[in-house]
Amino acid sequence: MRLISASADNRDAESLFRANPISEIRNVESTTSKQIQDKKEELRQLVGTRYRDLIDSADSILHMKSASESISSNISSIHRCIRSLSVSDLEPSPKLQSSPNNTTRLRIYGIACRVKYLVDTPENIWGCLDESMFLEAAARYIRAKHVHSNLMLPDGDLDHSILSNFPLLQHQWQIVDSFKAQISQRSHERLLDRGLSVAAYADALAAVAVIDELDPEQVLGLFLEARKTWILHTLTASAGNANATSSTAISAFCDVLSIIQVTVAQVGELFLHVMNDMPLFYKVILGSPPASQLFGGIPNPDDEIRLWKSFRDKLESVTVILHKTFISGTCWSWLRDCGARITSKINGRYLIDAISSGQDLRAAEKSIRLTMESKEVLQGSLEWLKNVFGSDIELPWNRIRELVLEGDSDLWDEIFEDAFARRMKMIIDSGFEDLTRAVNVSGVIHTIAATAGEKVVSETYLTRSSTGGRVWFTEPNNCKKAGPLLGNRAVPEEDNFQSCLNAYFGPEVSRIRDQVDSLCQSVLEDLLSFLESSKVSVRLKDLVPYLQDKCYESLSTIMKELKTELDILYTAIGSEPPSIIVEISLFIGRLLFAFENHSKHIPVILGSPRFWVKYTAPAIFEKLPSLLWQSKAVNSSPFSDSLGRQMLTSSQRQSSYATAALLGANESASPKLDDLWKVMRELCVRAYSLWISWLSDELSVILSRELGQDDGLSASIPSRGWEEIIVKQEQSDEGSSEMKISLPSMPSLYVISFLCQACEEIHSIGGHVLNRSIVQRFALSLIEKVISIYENFLSTREASGAQLSEKGILQVLLDIRFAAAVLSGGDFNVNEELSRKPKSKSSFRRKDQAQTKSVVRDAVDGLVYSLSQKLDPIDWLT
């Protein structure tokens, strides 16, 4: 067969070589070789796996053999022991046989009963723990300890030989002794459970006192520490919530306060000795059935009873009644510690920070005070209070405070007042920080600079269109006549006035002013809400100056920013286009003017707190127009006089803590208000001075050019607009004579244009809304420019030899007098003196006017005099 197979393989190989090329034959060879190698590897793995299984099986068999031999040996040992016991039982003891008596048998029976007592103790303790009878469990452990100690007392060879018959005794005692830690732990855990009766806590405390050998002072400290754990758990659960809201914090505070109240009440019921009634803790720990009933199943338990009575005597000697002063002091220390925990950081944050406004602080205080006064919180102690006082109690916390804490201190004052006041200060800080961030003066100024950058030609800027929301283009039908000041028709007048102001100020100034007013109002209303409390007088003294200081600091920051921008503008004169500087200076001036004269709440906050009553009785003031609030200082405005009296005498005023306290506040405003107004006025004048300087220069250039181009001033023939005036002169000898004088009847057109352009520019930036001092400064600058222009014009003419004709001199005199008459309000020296005494009487004002010498008037008179000297009076007669 092998030959045949070999020959067949040879034929297959030959046919393969004949039928296929070498490359395919090599592929077949490689494929065949790979299959051979795969089969070998598969065979190797199969053999290896079975070998390991075989080795494991052998190991298992050996282990089974060893275990079987061990079991067999143990069984044999047990068998031998049993047989030896059987033989010892069958063979009576010589000692017993020699002296059998009943005493020994009774002794053995007593020992057996005591061993059974120990054997039954674990089950008994487990049952007590399951039923939450912790004091009974502790007492059972103590009695088992006494039984065991009595068994282990040395009493001769007999006892030793008898006890040798109970080899499990020591092991059983180890089991019983392990329950001491369990009883203590379970009792401590019981104190951490909420919602139990005071009797349950008394049982747990008594068990801890018995099992851990604590005196009443230590038990009281343990009880208070357990309640502190309650508080910390409540606070941690609330503070750990990243999304905690005001309601979460308020709920946590009320819950913690209820824990404190219940704890103090239960301390009184557990430890305070009132009248002849024993405190509950002492009743529970010292109450016990007769000792003879505690060792059932043990014959003649005299030794155990003696040990138990000794234990009870020791317990009674340690468990003394705590003095009332000690209880009060301990409770106050614990209470203050809890208050510090409540108001301190928990998990890196203050729980009170979740309360974000004064209104929420007020709601929190209201809820907390309702909790303090609630009878439901102290429902479990009402029966005890009734037994103490002999009748039902309406305000249980007040009675408990008198009994346990020995005082009338308010829990609010001890725990919450300082924390809530600090939180209110933080809310005020946050409000004014928002105000400072909201007033982005630099951003607005950059926008104005970009918008005004195209207006670089002065004459183009001066001839720009005046449309676009100016005060002067308000629709006439909007200005309806309003009714009485406090009537229902006062609102349209106020709305119209506000629309005029907003048109003058522009959108950015109005927005910033409204933002500042809104934020100031929000902060003030928050504070007033917080003041609505029985602690209002204390809070007023602390928080009113704080609010005013923060308001002043925030506004001072804005003023510093505006001053910096003004310094930049003054530095940029000559390097930046005038239109940019002018527009920015006007914006700053309007903003300062709006703050100073048309802010509703800045003067209220920095004014007298008496005027804050408006916000505690809003119904009275809803109809008052905001015009009453437009004053430079609260104590010098109509608001502080007439409106203030209306507030203080209105019978409709809301009665509240805050209202009563505010009405008794000082009437004088904060000194910071006058300081702030002073800074605002100075910066406002400085801002408008840029506009005044630039506009005066531009208008004077136009006037000087027009004046230089007026050829009519050199002509001897009068131009149009002159009139002949007939002057009659009576003479005694020849009758009367007439003289005709030709005089100009109107100023030069360029002078009129000069003044009209100045008026239009005043109108374009606000007109009568502007502060009077700004207009006066502008007029003063213009008249000084006019005087300078004409002085330079005359000196130039004289230097060049070109003389003015008498007609020209008369025209120049008229132009100068006309301009001086129109701009006479710019005589700033007089008006500045008057502005320093706004409340002085008219007689004193006239006296100041008479005594004050005007430098500008002297300059005008000097110029007129020098021109009049150039006129030839002889020519007037010919």
Residue 451, pLDDT above cutoff 80: no
Average pLDDT, integer, range 171-185: 90
Average pLDDT, integer, range 10-39: 81
pLDDT of residue 279: 92
User: 154 vs 397, which has greater pLDDT?
Assistant: 397
Q: Which of 2-16, 167-181, 253-267, 509-523 has the lowest mean pLDDT?
A: 2-16
Average pLDDT, integer, range 455-465: 51
Q: Strands 735-744, 345-346: parallel, antiparallel or unpaired by DSSP?
A: unpaired
Average pLDDT, integer, range 352-369: 91
Average pLDDT, integer, range 624-628: 35
pLDDT of residue 447: 82
Residue 565 host element (H or E): helix 536-572
Q: Is residue 617 classed as helix, strand or coil in its secondary structure?
A: coil
**Position 466 confidence tier, pLDDT thresholds 50, 70, 90:** very low
**The dihedral of CA 186, 191, 194, 199: what is its sign?**
positive
Residue 187, pLDDT above cutoff 90: yes
Q: Are the beta carbons of 561 and 442 closer than 8 angstroms?
A: yes
Q: Which of 408-422, 768-782, 814-828 has the lowest mean pLDDT?
A: 814-828
Q: What is the largest CA-CA distance in the chain?
A: 193
Q: What is the Cα–Cα distance from 809 to 869, expressed in whole angstroms?
A: 10
pLDDT of residue 225: 95
User: 205-209, 236-240, 603-607 — which one is most confidently predicted on average?
Assistant: 205-209
* Residue type for position 152: M
pLDDT of residue 69: 86
Q: Are the beta carbons of 830 and 855 closer than 8 angstroms?
A: no
pLDDT of residue 837: 40
Residue 162, pLDDT above cutoff 60: no
**Position 670 confidence tier, pLDDT thresholds 50, 70, 90:** confident
pLDDT of residue 583: 87
Percent of the chain exceeding pLDDT 90 equals: 25
pLDDT of residue 50: 67
Residue 459, pLDDT above cutoff 70: no
Average pLDDT, integer, range 57-83: 84
pTM over cut 0.75: no
Mapped to the 3 state alphabet, what secondary structure does 238-280 carry?
A: HHCCCCCCHHHHHHHHHHHHHHHHHHHHHHHHHHCCECCECCH
pLDDT of residue 281: 94
pLDDT of residue 503: 76
Average pLDDT, integer, range 617-642: 38
The CA-to-CA distance between both ends of the chain, in Å, stands at 174
Residue 845, pLDDT above cutoff 90: no
The DSSP result for 106-118, as a single string, is HHHHHHHHHHHHH
User: 70 vs 219, which has greater pLDDT?
Assistant: 219
Q: Which of 124-133, 350-359, 661-670 has the lowest mean pLDDT?
A: 661-670
pLDDT of residue 756: 93
pLDDT of residue 655: 47
Q: Are the beta carbons of 219 and 208 closer than 8 angstroms?
A: yes
Mean pLDDT (the chain) is 79
Q: What is the Cα–Cα distance from 642 to 669, expressed in whole angstroms?
A: 16
**The dihedral of CA 838, 841, 843, 847: what is its sign?**
negative
Residue 715, pLDDT above cutoff 90: no
User: 270 vs 491, which has greater pLDDT?
Assistant: 270
Residue 61, pLDDT above cutoff 80: yes
pLDDT of residue 11: 60
Residue 874, pLDDT above cutoff 60: no
Residue 613, pLDDT above cutoff 70: yes
> Packing angle between helix 216-239 and helix 246-271, nearest 10 degrees?
170
Q: Is residue 753 classed as helix, strand or coil in its secondary structure?
A: helix
User: 288 vs 853, which has greater pLDDT?
Assistant: 288
Burial of 117 (0-12, 13-18, 19+ CB in 10 A): buried
Buried/exposed code over 377-386 (b: 16+ C-beta within 10 A; e: otherwise): bbebbeebbe
Side-chain-facing half-sphere of 51: CA atoms under 13 Å: 6
Percent of the chain exceeding pLDDT 70 equals: 77
- Backbone dihedral angles phi then psi of residue 139, each to the nearest 5 degrees: -65, -40
Residue 110, pLDDT above cutoff 90: no
**Position 337 confidence tier, pLDDT thresholds 50, 70, 90:** very high
Buried/exposed code over 498-529 (b: 16+ C-beta within 10 A; e: otherwise): ebbbbbbbbebbbebbeebbebbbbbbbbbbb
Average pLDDT, integer, range 301-306: 87
pLDDT of residue 669: 75
**The dihedral of CA 182, 183, 187, 193: what is its sign?**
positive
pLDDT of residue 48: 67
pLDDT of residue 471: 43
User: 394-398, 821-825, 827-831 — which one is most confidently predicted on average?
Assistant: 394-398
**Position 323 confidence tier, pLDDT thresholds 50, 70, 90:** very high
Q: Is residue 68 classed as helix, strand or coil in its secondary structure?
A: helix
User: 132 vs 409, which has greater pLDDT?
Assistant: 132
What count of other Cβ atoms lies within 10 Å of the Cβ of residue 774? 21
Phi-psi region of 726 (alpha: psi -120 to 50; beta: other; left: phi over 0): beta
pLDDT of residue 859: 84
Q: Strands 345-346, 722-731: parallel, antiparallel or unpaired by DSSP?
A: unpaired
Length of the chain counted residue by residue: 878
The DSSP result for 682-713, as a single string, is HHHHHHHHHHHHHHHHHHHHHHHHHHHT-GGG
Q: What is the Cα–Cα distance from 342 to 850, expressed in whole angstroms?
A: 72
| Tokens matching residue 385 | 């209070």
Q: What is the Cα–Cα distance from 694 to 765, expressed in whole angstroms?
A: 14
Q: What is the Cα–Cα distance from 767 to 761, expressed in whole angstroms?
A: 8
Q: Which of 200-214, 394-408, 798-812, 852-866 has the lowest mean pLDDT?
A: 852-866
The DSSP result for 336-366, as a single string, is HHHHHHHTSEETTEEGGGG--SHHHHHHHHH
**Position 609 confidence tier, pLDDT thresholds 50, 70, 90:** confident
Q: Residue 665: CB partners within 8 Å, gap ≥ 6?
A: 540, 544, 608, 609, 610
pLDDT of residue 172: 84
